[in-house]
Structure 1
Amino acid sequence: MPLEIVRHDLTKMKVDAIVNAANTSLKMGGGVCGAIFRAAGTSKLQEACNQIGECKVGEAVITDGFQLDAKYIIHTPGPIWQGGSHQEAALLKKSFYNSLELAKKHQCESIAFPLISTGIYGYPRDEALQIAVSTIGSFLLHHDMHVFLVVFDKKSFCLSKKLFTSIHQFIDEHYVELVESTFTRNREEPFILEQRQEVEILQESLYKETDYSLENLLNQLDESFSERLLRLIDEKEMTDVETYKRANIDRKLFSKIRNGIDYTPKKKTAVAFAIALHLNVDETIALLTTAGYTLSRSSKFDVIIEYFIQQANYNIHEINEALFAFDQPLLGA
């Protein structure tokens, strides 16, 4: 998928470029910077940085990756947090944007970022995350690149407290474990079960009385997922490019869906298209049904998706932030 949040060691990412949260003098530092220097080979990387000299806050420069799996290291000094009144947000946005532009200039197809400035520079993690996601998301609407936002552990990732609490409350109110549902069904009154059995017998009888040959059934098939999706795109007056980018979907996968009438996507891919098309809950379920899925109150993933749809928040990257925070699969492909 174009933007993916992963829990990994940045220095071990197999991408075209990784981003170093550098200092302005481009010297080996601590934290992420120190780890990158050690993994790349301290002396060679420092020599390359010395040849460049320095880099201003918010700007970006590039060196070879040396001993890393990545071909390049893009160095960008983020701002030091001073309470938020010294253009920290604008400078942090520049760090992400200029790094992406530099990667594009060097024809990188993939790049991995840390959460810049959130270490010893003290930038609040939830605010830095919002800036990172919005800047990267805006860039990807106009460019094709696979971008990873890498966090080393759960402590390095922080969803805003207000949003986390709101989603948590929604899950508490709507999430129902399958075990509870089964237990409840087993406790139904006997006469309710008898009525249900009578209905099932009647339905079976009606089914047998109708000519349901295989040929007739095949002729009555509803539209496939691909057909429904393409019809909705036309109805929403959206372009293919706009659709797959807003769905956080790779162009090659979208091409498979467009050219394959019987293509069955993964559930997270189908949901991603529902988000891209700004479908309501009923419309989302209708689209999912064509691929053999639905939304269930026994799935935390589904409940979180329903929360965002009900809030009319269709920003797929913000949704993925929440899914990541709750250890759920991310939308896209």
Structure 2
Amino acid sequence: MPSKHSLFIVYAAVILAACIVLCDDCVAFSFPFRTFGEGDLVPAAEFVEYNNKQVQSFAGLKGKYVLAVFWGADIQEKREHSILLLKQLNTLESFFKDRNITLLSVNIQGDVAETIADVLKQSGSSGKVYIDPSQQAYASLGIYVMPALLFIDKSGKAAAGFGYSRNSVAHLKGEIEILLGEKTKAQVEEDLNPKVVEKSGDEKQAIHHLNFAFVLLKRGMTDQAIREFEKAIELEPNSAQAAAEVGCLYLETGDLAKAEVSLAKGLALAPDSLRAKMCSAQLEARRGNMVRALASLEKLLIENPNTPRIRYLIGRLLQEQGQSPKALKYYREAYETLNKQIAE
């Protein structure tokens, strides 16, 4: 007879499987500073370099374009957002360099050295990092959203500022391009919200089959959904979403050979497809490669810490291995992450 503890683990897994949904992490990115506004001179502030204790200040950078990123990791949510934001900024390294923009990365909340080092490692940041040991800068700038971005022009005025959001870096890049006269506001708006190109008849039919497949899935009609996804692929062979989805369904029905083919196609068309990557990891587990499957999911979790389903899948694999305490930890984290997203 199963123990109460094992029954609780199974119950937790079932509840999470029923509740987990994909949810974008959307946080407002309004101007995140209380003591000044866009167009104002930025208040005086000094920072100390994390490694060698050299002092840097806004006054010392006057005459240069400066992008200051203020981040902290005193709670898990801020830590995750800081890692994601620093990763995004890393992708724009050449953009900043070509425009002689100085990047000022500041851990503004006095996190311990171990925490700072971990954030830098996970984000892949290798540039200089500064701290605010007395938190005078934190107070003088009036930061109330974390992490936060501030672009300062050569005269020391705040040209733009954003609080964290999934697309705050893209908005910042657009603002810089406008300020430097590289693009008009209309061009930036078009980049951020590209116009929808009229689709062909086959593409429209493929979308119809794709959408109908999702409807069938909600009704629990897996076999019929597979057929609709396959019809979508016939009409639009380059549909990465359809390939990934049907691959995941083949995995669910136990057809591992077809699952492998479809998932490989989905990843070839969209290498960053999280859905295809998660199902590929599950495929490894189904074939007995549990260590490799867990390693793949742990890597995905580092890259996508706000995706509750990844934590749920890790918990399920650990449960299958008889590691109930560890499984419960991941189930609990998945539930907490999901709750946080619903609240936002």
TM-score, normalised relative to structure 2: 0.26
Question: Which structure features the higher share of helix residues?
Answer: 2
